[in-house]
Structure 1
């Protein structure tokens, strides 16, 4: 039967009531009636119910739409639709004294045609308990709603739910999780109960600073505490507050506060030797205050890209620019201070006509030469970390989990925890695998004591030095750079051991590279979070008394399940609108994505309009075309 004949058949079809029969339970009655009604082209819903006595069922199109809005005129009212036609169809179910249920037909009349497709009725798209449970599990795992729907459809081809139904279900799940609490309250509750190290600051009740560290992040940080890479990332939350990511506000005091929290989190186990950052002056000053003994290295990759964006514009000849850029890279790689001074003098002499570029380098970068020139950085144990690429990769991974930049702190924290937990398990698994795997090219007697005790990365670095020691009879003078920066024996040390017929020992390897005795089970993670929460809120209570009387009328929230006392309610930061077009603009670009804003060097490298050399349009859409048309008579 084709679709047209099927429609004609249903148009004249008499929508029969379900047969009168007995049922063992209320649920069985509802299931039978609903299934039969769908086969007849109509939907049944519950009108009233007394679970142990009576059940009143009606047609889904029964009743009359009632506008409950208070607008006086129709002007400005939102346009609405209704499926209700005051259908009188009604069935009753009654429970008999023996415990069974029986149907009773009250009204057989429908005032509408039979349905061809029942998916338009919300009740037909209702998710089962099993499907709701699956959605809850997938929500906890951070799976997106459209992917949830795909998964549900693959397991049940008859499901009629659409994406809006899944979104509504996830919203209800999140509401149930909050249990009447604000996202900030729920966040603090979970931080307290989950073993997190955390702290916060506030201004007139609004949260302004938040620091939290996952227990597994604390374990990793204390186990690998020699070098940390720090950087800020944006577009992670609807408050437009930056996230300082430590693999690890733009004011020094804000960075000082965050770093002090990080300092306290590390406890007295160990403190960092090297911290790698961008040229963020506020962060650099904060590091000097909180970690005065740590060496702050600058990211070489960002320095080179900034040179590209600021200096290339002053070179018309590509060959000259290539020589300039190559000479700058050579300057960064200067092995000694004397070599650096000579390289800088030669650099100035060769490009003395490029005054602007030289002034930019000398004023912006050379004052920090000790932070990125090899002649100085190779004196510190940085384990090869001279760029912030690791933390940039962490940002990218994190934003894959976040998906959108419009979430509140509770949602952001939940997604961050998912990322951390997955990453932690991968690290543990990789370390476990390296304890039993032996790379075939490293099966040499010189490394016998190190195999399965030292990371494969460190073994490969050692193997490079070993090949030089065993193949090159004329080694240059040892500058001790490799051992000083990597914590591993250099070529000269290996040559000496080979000449004496000895092998490498575990005592020659820095603890950073040891995997044999490294565990993350229990290293003193903070466990008195209840007391810490009480202390934070006590400080908040003292601040609260200083507010104007009008602001003291803010509703107090009972946190008795946490600390057993009534304390002021912490409010979320103000939601910040994105820059550019207003959020209500129809032609605005999407500002909810977590994709980062392009750096200046990326904008410089972007394609330009061939008419005006502008960025963001091409010759066809150039604004000058409109100006030309307006001037043309």
Structure 2
């Protein structure tokens, strides 16, 4: 036994002779890798991280001898000038030698020195070498990283496949950094972004500053979003979010809604400013992607005036609605402090929401007067705020009596796009990602959304719900979405209530959703007719991804329109047709009270 530095021998403690060392073995190993794996396994059991010190090859380049040491062996020469650095090296003399024995065609391990001048390892998770990835693990990490899996999921997968794995999250991050450097070598961030958009077949466009050539606005549509949007161009829900990218650019998310009530991403845009010009450019890009498909019918936005003006410019014929949730949040911000208790504020909010949901003009005027009477004495400032800032200017964009005069398919808030942003944040590793990372995240989200939408299409075409199994729906089942049948089922339940209490139909389902309302359904019942498929708007009949061209949107057919006209004349006297229900009434009662089969 010999050492380069004999002085270090005095620091060694607990010296173990060769015959009692846990590394002593007479086993013949078939390869050098098998020998090293065995030594590392024994080292893990006794608290030693065994690493390769050096190796020797013969003239043919084959390894014939290998030296193994403890990871505390050797010395560290610090060359850092800025970063603070440290070392675990203590000059430990632990040493093993593996030799290839030609006469036995195998490898033998010999213990040179089995003594350490440091405490043995208690937890291997703090040792970088012990947490190194094996070649197989490296391949798995690369595959998952390229599929945009977050590091925490990659680490969990590593540990689930090997319970002895001691890799730390930092190792996964470092490996991801290596992959990014390899992929982005010699490219600027913008080159990486546009190459990714091109390679993944995104529909995209951008604007740059003429003087600096810096990116100002970027618009992109996933190819799957493009396909779904052409099938469902009816609804746009738009909102702007922040803290999504390292460039601090506001991020515009635009989502749509399918006939089965599923949300899908339509387009995304990173803009330099939240000005009318920027929003107009984004919406113009959206309009351009429609080609010769039908134009959208309703746009939902928050209370951003620049966005509202841009919508009016680009889509003048679409109904523009304001998000009720954002309005309530603004009211809370400006009015909550005017009320002494939370109970008083909740009572006010209840009256306000009651006013917003007014379905007729007389109803609106009555509720408006009640709100005025309750606020004018003690909370005049609150009444002035809601009246001047919201009702006087924008009541036609969020109060039911006005918004239900146009098709909105039941959408009154931008909560769908808020949920889409929440989903985006779940996939983001950091709140400020590069734009190419956002593109990759959208790719993963669209795979999930497409699967969910296809599942609901198949459910509507194949599945027959118990409460839909009535003769009135014979023409509709498997031809319209289950969501549409649920709405019609609700209207069917209203028929008897309207008859019992002598209330008006108000026909908001017909005007806002494009389907027969309660008074029309009563006509079908009395004449023993089923609800015709043509009386259902094309939106609810769409259960595929074929593009919806302009001439396909015919709304209600002539027969259905005649029935609507007839009902309208009848409502001049009475809002709902009085039907002398006999067996029909019992049929409805049975249908509305029957419990689903289990």
TM range (shorter): 0.7 to 0.9
Q: What SS is found at the alignment partner of 1:122?
A: coil
1:188 offset after TM fit, Å? 1.8
* 1:204-226 CA-partner distances (Å, limit 9, x unpaired): 35433222221122222222211
1:441 maps to 467
Q: Is 2:121 aligned against 1:117?
A: yes
Q: Say which of 49, 52, 57 aligns to 2:61.
A: 52
Tell me, yes or no, if the aligned pair for 2:101 and 2:108 is still in contact at 8 Å. no
Match of 2:247 among 236, 239, 243: 239
Which deviates more from structure 2 when the two are superposed, residues 35-44 or residues 203-212? Answer: 35-44
Give the equivalent residue in structure 1 for 2:225.
217
Corresponding residue to 1:420 among 446, 456, 464? 446
Match of 1:512 in 2: 539
CA deviation string 1:339-390 (max 9, x = no partner)? 5456545644553343322332233112112111222211110001111122
Q: Give secondary structure in 2 for the equivalent of 1:379.
A: coil
Unaligned runs of 5+ in 1: 1-8, 72-76, 525-633
Q: Which residue of 1 aligns with 2:261?
A: none
Q: Is contact 1:29-1:101 (8 Å) kept?
A: no
Shift of 1:485: 0.4
Aligned to 1:534: none
Cα 1:115–1:47 shift into 2, 3 Å: farther
Deviation at 1:467? 2.8
Q: Work out whether residues 56 and 66 of structure 2, in 8 Å CA contact, stay in contact via their aligned partners in 1.
A: yes
Check the 8 A contact 2:90/2:117 in 1, yes or no.
no
The aligned counterpart of 1:184 is: 190
Are 1:382 and 1:485, in contact at CA under 8 Å, matched by a contact in 2? Answer: yes
SS at match of 1:250: coil
- Give the number of equivalent residue pairs: 507
Q: Are the aligned partners of 2:92 and 2:118 in contact in 1 as well (CA < 8 Å)?
A: no
Change (3 A) 1:43 1:382: same
CA distance in 1, matches of 2:249, 2:296: 26
Task: Give the drift of 1:482.
Answer: 1.7
- 1:201 aligned onto 2:207: yes
Q: TM-score, normalised by structure 2?
A: 0.74
Local SS of the residue matching 2:129: helix
The corresponding residue for 1:617 is none
- 1:43 is the counterpart of 2:50: yes
Q: What is the CA-CA distance between 1:93 and the residue it aligns to?
A: 6.5
Tell me what 1:631 maps to: none
Q: For 1:213 and 1:47, locate their aligned partners in 2 and report how far apart those are by CA, in whole Å.
A: 54
Of 308, 315, 319, 1:284 maps to 308
Q: What is the match of residue 331 of structure 2?
A: 307
1:168 equivalent among 169, 174, 186: 174
How far the C-alpha of 1:12 sits from its partner, in A, is 2.3
Which residue does 2:163 correspond to in 1?
A: 157
- SS of the residue 1:44 aligns to: strand
Instruction: Return 349-358 or 193-202, whichever deviates more.
Output: 349-358
Q: Is the 8 A contact 2:202 2:222 kept in 1?
A: yes
Tell me the distance in 2 between the aligned counterparts of 1:457 and 1:313.
40
Task: Please state if 1:270 is matched with 2:294.
Answer: yes
Aligned to 1:450: 476
8 Å contact from structure 2 (residues 101, 107) kept in 1:
yes
Alignment of 1:11 with 2:14, yes or no, is yes
Aligned equivalents of 2:418 and 2:340: distance in 1? Answer: 32
Distance in structure 2 (CA, Å) of the matches to 1:169 and 1:130 = 14
Q: Are residues 87 and 412 of structure 1, via their aligned partners in 2, closer, same or farther at CA, if it must alter by over 3 Å?
A: farther
Give TM-score scaled by structure 1 length: 0.70
Comparing 347-356 and 15-24, the one that deviates more: 15-24
Gaps of 5+ in 2: 1-11, 256-265, 267-272, 550-598
Q: 2:398 aligns to what?
A: 372
What is the CA distance between 1:132 and its match in structure 2? 2.4
Deviations 1:537-572 (A, max 9, x none): xxxxxxxxxxxxxxxxxxxxxxxxxxxxxxxxxxxx
Q: Deviations over 1:475-520 (max 9, x none)?
A: 655544321100111112112222222111211111211254x136
Query: Structure 2 CA distance, aligned partners of 1:336 and 1:470?
Result: 21
Distance 1:318 1:147, change over 3 A: closer
* Cα 1:303/1:490, change in 2 over 3 Å: same
Which of 485, 503, 519 is matched with 2:530 structurally? 503
8 A Cα contact 2:507 2:517, kept in partner: yes
* Deviation for aligned residue 1:461: 0.9
Question: 1:45 touches 1:123 (CA, 8 Å); kept in 2?
Answer: no
Report matched runs for 1:204-603 at 5 Å. Answer: 204-247=212-255, 248=266, 249-316=273-340, 324-337=348-361, 339-341=363-365, 343-344=367-368, 347-348=371-372, 351-353=375-377, 354-365=379-390, 366-469=392-495, 472-473=498-499, 476=503, 479-516=506-543, 518-519=544-545
